[in-house]
C-alpha cells in the first residue's frame, strides 16, 4: 500500500501531528500486509499433522500384537469356549448370593456397606444367573473403589465370564471413556484376559472406541512387555 501525505480536502496542509499519524499508519500497513510476490511464492502444503494422524487408526489389538512380536513373543488369541477350566464355575451358591441389596451397594459405591456384609460372612464371589458378576458391574461402571475392595480385600476372582463369554476386562474396555486405573488392576492380576475372545470372537480391546485408540496404545506402550504375557491360557490352548 502507498499512502501519500498531502494537503487535506480543504486544501490546508496537514499539521505536524497529522503528518506523524499518517507516517505511522503507512509504516504499519507496509509491515502487516504481505506483498503479492510473497503470496505467490509461498509454498502450498496439504501435509497432515505428523504421526498422530496415523496413530489414531491403529487398533489397540494390532498395536499389542506388534509390541509383543517385536520382543519375540508369540501372541495367541484364545476363545472363551476353549477354556472350560479357566473360569470360576457358576454354581448355585454364587447365583444365590447375588441379591438386590448387594447390587445396590455396588451401584452406589458403598464400600463401607460391602465391607460390613463381607465381614459378616457374605461371599462377594457372586453373579446373576447369566454369569454377570459384581466384578463385571464394577468394571462396567468404572468404579475403582469397589473393584479395589473386591479384588484386594475380599479376594474375589476376576476370572469370571457371563453367558456371552465376556470377562470383566471386556466391560472395562467397553465404557464411554476408558478408566485405565481399572484396567491396570485387572491386568496386574490376570493379563490373560487381554487374549480371550467372547462368544462373538471379540477380545476386550476390540470393544475400545475408535476415538480412544491412541490413548489405549499409549497405555499399553508404558507396560513392561513381560507383564503383558499371558500366565495361564497360552499353555492350556
Per-residue pLDDT tens over the stretch 119-144: 999 999 999 999 999 999 999 999 99
Q: Are 158 and 168 in contact (CB under 8 A)?
A: yes
Q: What percent of the chain has pLDDT over 90?
A: 74
Category of 170 on φ-ψ map: left (φ > 0), alpha (ψ -120 to 50) or beta: alpha
CA torsion sign for 125, 88, 224, 173 is negative
What's the pLDDT at 235? 79
What's the pLDDT at 33? 44
Res 180 pLDDT > 80: yes
Residue 18 DSSP code: H
What's the pLDDT at 22? 63
What's the pLDDT at 23? 61
Q: What is the mean pLDDT of the chain?
A: 85
Domain span(s) for CATH 1.25.40.20 in the chain: 52-236
Q: Are 194 and 64 in contact (CB under 8 A)?
A: yes
At 11, is the pLDDT very low, low, confident or very high (cuts 50, 70, 90)?
low
C-alpha cell at 98: 447375588
C-alpha cell at 183: 484396567
Q: What is the mean pLDDT of residues 33-40?
A: 44
- The SS3 assignment for 33 reads coil
- What is the rounded distance in angstroms from the CA atom of residue 104 to the CA atom of residue 118? 15
Number of H helices, E strands in the chain: 13, 2
At 51, is the pLDDT very low, low, confident or very high (cuts 50, 70, 90)?
very low
Which stretch of 40-44, 96-100, 143-147 has the lowest confidence by average pLDDT? 40-44
- The SS3 assignment for 167 reads coil
Per-residue pLDDT tens over the stretch 191-217: 999 999 999 999 999 999 999 999 999
Proportion of the chain in helix, strand, coil states, percent, rounded to 5: 50, 5, 45
At 150, is the pLDDT very low, low, confident or very high (cuts 50, 70, 90)?
very high
What count of other Cβ atoms lies within 10 Å of the Cβ of residue 184?
15
Q: Where are the beta strands (DSSP E) in 2-141?
A: 78-79
At 184, is the pLDDT very low, low, confident or very high (cuts 50, 70, 90)?
very high
- What is the rounded distance in angstroms from the CA atom of residue 159 to the CA atom of residue 64? 21
Query: Dihedral (C-alpha) 198, 200, 205, 211: value to the nearest 10 degrees?
Result: -150
- The SS3 assignment for 237 reads coil
Look up the CATH architecture of domain 52-236. Answer: Alpha Horseshoe (1.25)
Res 73 pLDDT > 90: yes
Q: What is the DSSP string of 110-121?
A: -HHHHHHHHHTT
Q: What percent of the chain has pLDDT over 70?
A: 75
Which stretch of 22-26, 49-53, 163-167 has the lowest confidence by average pLDDT? 49-53
What's the whole-model pTM score? 0.76
What's the pLDDT at 84? 87
Amino acid at each position: 500500500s502507498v499512502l501519500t501525505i498531502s494537503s487535506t480536502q480543504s486544501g490546508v496542509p496537514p499539521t505536524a501531528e497529522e503528518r506523524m499519524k499518517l507516517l505511522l499508519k503507512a509504516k504499519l500497513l507496509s509491515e502487516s500486509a504481505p506483498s503479492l510476490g510473497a503470496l505467490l511464492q509461498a509454498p502450498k502444503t496439504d501435509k497432515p499433522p505428523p504421526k498422530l494422524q496415523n496413530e489414531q487408526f491403529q487398533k489397540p489389538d494390532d498395536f499389542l500384537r506388534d509390541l509383543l512380536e517385536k520382543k519375540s513373543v508369540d501372541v495367541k488369541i484364545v476363545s472363551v469356549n476353549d477354556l472350560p477350566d479357566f473360569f470360576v464355575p457358576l454354581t448355585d451358591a454364587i447365583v444365590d448370593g447375588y441379591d438386590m441389596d448387594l447390587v445396590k451397594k455396588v451401584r452406589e459405591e458403598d464400600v463401607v456397606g460391602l465391607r460390613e456384609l463381607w465381614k459378616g460372612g457374605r461371599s462377594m464371589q457372586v453373579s446373576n444367573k447369566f454369569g454377570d458378576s459384581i466384578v463385571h458391574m464394577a468394571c462396567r461402571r468404572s468404579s475403582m473403589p469397589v473393584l479395589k475392595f473386591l479384588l484386594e480385600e475380599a479376594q474375589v476372582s476376576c476370572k469370571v465370564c457371563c453367558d456371552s463369554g465376556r470377562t470383566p476386562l471386556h466391560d472395562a474396555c467397553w465404557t464411554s471413556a476408558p478408566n485405565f486405573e481399572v484396567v491396570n488392576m485387572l491386568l496386574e492380576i490376570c493379563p490373560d484376559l487381554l487374549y480371550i475372545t467372547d462368544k462373538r470372537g471379540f477380545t476386550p480391546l476390540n470393544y475400545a472406541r475408535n476415538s480412544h485408540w491412541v490413548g489405549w496404545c499409549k497405555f499399553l506402550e508404558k507396560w513392561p512387555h513381560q507383564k503383558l504375557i499371558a500366565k495361564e491360557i497360552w499353555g492350556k490352548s
